[in-house]
A and B are shown apart, each in its own frame.
Chain A
Amino acid sequence: MFFTYLRRELRRRRKAALVVALGLALGIGLVITVSSVSTGMRDAQDEVLHSLYGVGTDLTVAKEAKAEEGGSAPQRFKIEGREDGEKASETDDRLMPLGGFDNLDDSVVDKVAAQDGVATAVGALALNDIKFTGDFKPGEMKKEEGKPGSGGGPRVGGGGADIETETFTVMGVDVSALSVGPLSSSKISKGANFAATDTEALKAVVDSAYAKDKDLAVGDKVTIKGKKFEVAGIATADTGASTSNVYIPLAQAQKLADADMKGKVSKVYVKADSSDAIPAVKKAISENVDGATVTSAADLAEQVSGNLSTASNLATNIGKWLSIAVLVAAFLLAGLLTMSAVSRRVREFGTLKAVGWRSGRVVRQVMGEAFANGVLGGALGIGLGLAGAWIVSTVAPTLTATTGGEQPGGPGQGGGPGGGGIAQQLGEGAQQSVDIALKAPVTLSVIVLAVVLAAAGGIIAGCFGGWRAARLRPADALRRVE
């Protein structure tokens, strides 16, 4: 009887039922879409952070450089001229540590690894390779005569230089633990990654964008500081923002660097035992490693700006409140329409009470109808929400995430193709933008939330109607008939 009565009533009042269901559907659909977009925003931010950090990295440890009086010493390049005054073709190749950070000793990596809650800690050395190639012609001594007041002494004239510079970034990576560290944010698209035994190998992995620019393929050679490294693999960054142009084994990077980089790293990449342990690990490292600047994903997230950040704020703030407002309005509408439906059925319910139906049974009937309406609204809402999420994912608007400070890169601080990569990865230096296509993934938890909301909507509406039905006295109901 319950289900027969319920089904027939919903069929009879299908327009009103549809209005209630559509109201709920709109609210629920909006919640699903906004939640999915928010998830997409979070995923996009995670993606940006992963590109900065590497997927498996939870924390990075670095040591900020101390400000030197009068600034850092300028880099000098030396191209020797020929004594015979003929034009000289010379090359100077410098492999220098990236500015902004003091280097850390290898021992820091072990110290960090020894902290409670640390699963893995690896070091990496970020370097900048600047190559000067040029034709240099020395000036000639000329003696000028006959010009009053000119002094009549010899003068240097002619000469000049035609110099080309090439800059790229080199990252020395710990080949024994590639799941953490700068290369973990890239996938090997061609060739192979380093093997754990490649600690001293003259092998390189090249970023795909750099490889394309320089027409490099697997098996080709890359010259770094006069040494030829064989390209073993091409790495494609997950978000298109690579952390370096060329990756080589850490030991080779330490050996080749101009400054004394033996046993030095510029940054330590840390993987915690669990995400819950990250704050404790961060605290432990900060306390136990002198001068260490420990950065977590959460810290970096605050540095992400651009329209990704704006859109994320929109989704989490305006979107959330809009969804809540629509949902509350839908619940109220459903409740009022259910109450109104009960008012129109006073005679019906009065008659049922007169023939002996308890108030509870009448209320259950009303609640059942409202709940069914809620389920219908939930189903429509899930459909609407999925459609909304699908549209967002299909249109996939491009959002730009900007990372790093607004510190212009000077010579020796990047500037070549992808030169901002390491600066960006180190969290300061040149500002870098990453374009990310927004997706709106619908998770199971969002669907569960929608079902719960639909049920809640139905129950709330049923409570309104049930309250009205429960208060109905059969005598009053039948008196109204007269």
Chain B
Amino acid sequence: MYQLTTVTKRYQRGKQTINALEGVDLTIATGDQLVVQGPTGGGKSTLLQMLGALDRPTAGSVSIDGTDLARLSEAKLTKVRAATIGFVFQSFNLIPTLSAQENVETALVPLGVKPAARRKRAAEALQLVGLGDRLRHLPSELSGGQQQRVAIARALVKEPKVLLADEPTGNLDEDTRDEIMGLLAGLWKDRGLTFVLVTHDSSIARRAPRLAVINNGRLKVTERTP
């Protein structure tokens, strides 16, 4: 379970101070899905970085299952990211020189999984997202939707507790967007993941059971009854 208490994040850009998050309080229960929406520069990605142990708050605390991420060393944050959190990015962020299977394997490298087991698990994860026949393809040889599936396989291959997706359909056409959203929703339900999705897409936001809107660093959560 995530517990964010009066989280503030400020950046210094030259002489200007940017208040990316302002006293954010948020609770996300294990297995919940939260959709975060808001204008560009409103603080969506910063919130996701706090949840993903990629950054520390300037003030307040971000705890996951009772562990305050703000107090952990860099090495321990890295361990949390390696074992607990899966990321899906808007631009897929695949390593261009590695094949689909090798890209998925990169998520298992920090866990010390042996190469043979890595290959097997990566192949299974790609099979799961419907790319069993594209294991050796480079990202440049795959369509946008296929690349995002590889990214999803990479996020899920280590069986994380949390899946964080930063506008995963932002670079995809409508059909592919629905395909990917269907895949993510299915995985969330099947695996009992805590799923946080940042999106600009109102059609996705409308379907979300829980919606958080962030603007100028301030968060407002709307609960919807199914």
Binding site for B on A (CB under 8 A): 1, 4-5, 8-9, 11-12, 347-348, 350-359, 361, 473-475, 478-479, 481-482
Which residues from chain B contact A478 at a C-beta distance below 8 Å? 45, 49, 54, 89, 93, 166
Instruction: Given A1-B102, A12-B97, A357-B110, output 8 extra A-B contacts at Cβ < 8 Å.
Output: A1-B115, A11-B97, A347-B91, A348-B96, A356-B79, A358-B78, A473-B54, A475-B54
A-B contact pairs, 9 of them (CB 8 A): A1-B118, A347-B93, A353-B78, A354-B81, A356-B81, A356-B83, A357-B110, A475-B49, A478-B49
> Which 5 A-B pairs have CB atoms at the shortest separation, nearest pair first?
A356-B82, A8-B97, A475-B55, A356-B110, A351-B93
How many positions in chain B have a CB within 8 Å of any CB in the partner chain?
33
B98-A355 in contact (CB<8A)? no
A355-B55 in contact (CB<8A)? no
B109-A354 in contact (CB<8A)? no
CB contact under 8 A between A481 and B83, given known A1-B105, A357-B109: no
B55-A473 in contact (CB<8A)? yes
A474-B54 in contact (CB<8A)? yes
Majority-rule SS of A interface residues: helix
Q: When the two chains form the complex, which single residue of B74, B75, B83, B106 contacts A1, counting CB atoms closer than 8 Å?
A: B106
Which residues from chain A contact B107 at a C-beta distance below 8 Å? 355-356
Which residues from chain A contact B90 at a C-beta distance below 8 Å? 481-482
A356-B54 in contact (CB<8A)? no
User: How far apart are the CA atoms of A352 and B109 in the complex, in Å?
Assistant: 10
B111-A356 in contact (CB<8A)? yes
The answer to whether B87 has its CB under 8 Å from any CB of chain A is yes
CB contact under 8 A between A355 and B52, given known A5-B98, A479-B45: no
B115-A355 in contact (CB<8A)? no
B98-A8 in contact (CB<8A)? yes
Which residues from chain B contact A8 at a C-beta distance below 8 Å? 97-98
Which residues from chain A contact B105 at a C-beta distance below 8 Å? 1
A355-B97 in contact (CB<8A)? no
Please count the residue pairs between chain A and chain B whose beta carbons lie under 8 angstroms apart in the complex.
Answer: 85
User: How far apart are the CA atoms of A351 and B110 in the complex, in Å?
Assistant: 13
Q: Mark B94-137, 1 if CB is under 8 A from A, else 0.
A: 01111000100111011100010010000000000000000000
User: How far apart are the CA atoms of A5 and B96 in the complex, in Å?
Assistant: 10
Question: Shortest Cβ distance from B144 into chain A, in angstroms?
Answer: 15
Question: Shortest Cβ distance from B143 into chain A, in angstroms?
Answer: 20
Which residues from chain A contact B83 at a C-beta distance below 8 Å? 356
Residue of B nearest to A7 (CB): B97
In this complex, the member of A12, A347, A351, A353 whose beta carbon has the largest number of chain B beta carbons within 10 angstroms is A351
The answer to whether B149 has its CB under 8 Å from any CB of chain A is no
Which residues from chain A contact B97 at a C-beta distance below 8 Å? 5, 8-9, 11-12
Question: Shortest Cβ distance from B193 into chain A, in angstroms?
Answer: 16
The answer to whether B154 has its CB under 8 Å from any CB of chain A is yes
Residue of A nearest to B107 (CB): A355
Question: Shortest Cβ distance from A37 into chain B, in angstroms?
Answer: 42
Which residues from chain A contact B49 at a C-beta distance below 8 Å? 475, 478-479
B78-A5 in contact (CB<8A)? no
Q: When the two chains form the complex, which single residue of A354, A473, A481 contacts B91, counting CB atoms closer than 8 Å?
A: A481
User: How far apart are the CA atoms of A478 and B47 in the complex, in Å?
Assistant: 13
Q: Mark B21-53, 1 if CB is under 8 A from A, else 0.
A: 000000000000000000000000100010010
User: How far apart are the CA atoms of A359 and B82 in the complex, in Å?
Assistant: 13
B96-A12 in contact (CB<8A)? yes
User: How far apart are the CA atoms of A12 and B55 in the complex, in Å?
Assistant: 31
Residue of A nearest to B96 (CB): A12
User: How far apart are the CA atoms of A4 and B78 in the complex, in Å?
Assistant: 23
Question: Shortest Cβ distance from B23 into chain A, in angstroms?
Answer: 20
Residue of B nearest to A12 (CB): B97
Question: Shortest Cβ distance from B192 into chain A, in angstroms?
Answer: 21
Which residues from chain A contact B93 at a C-beta distance below 8 Å? 347-348, 350-351, 354, 478, 481
A355-B110 in contact (CB<8A)? yes
Question: Shortest Cβ distance from B170 into chain A, in angstroms?
Answer: 10
Q: Mark B64-91, 1 if CB is under 8 A from A, else 0.
A: 0000000000110011011100010111
Which residues from chain A contact B118 at a C-beta distance below 8 Å? 1
Residue of A nearest to B164 (CB): A354
Which residues from chain A contact B74 at a C-beta distance below 8 Å? 359
A358-B110 in contact (CB<8A)? yes
User: How far apart are the CA atoms of A21 and B91 in the complex, in Å?
Assistant: 32
Residue of A nearest to B55 (CB): A475
Which residues from chain A contact B91 at a C-beta distance below 8 Å? 347, 481
Q: When the two chains form the complex, which single residue of B95, B110, B158 contacts A361, counting CB atoms closer than 8 Å?
A: B110
Which residues from chain B contact A350 at a C-beta distance below 8 Å? 93
B106-A355 in contact (CB<8A)? yes
CB contact under 8 A between A481 and B89, given known A5-B97, A8-B97: yes
Residue of B nearest to A347 (CB): B93
Residue of A nearest to B74 (CB): A359
User: How far apart are the CA atoms of A356 and B108 in the complex, in Å?
Assistant: 9
A358-B75 in contact (CB<8A)? yes
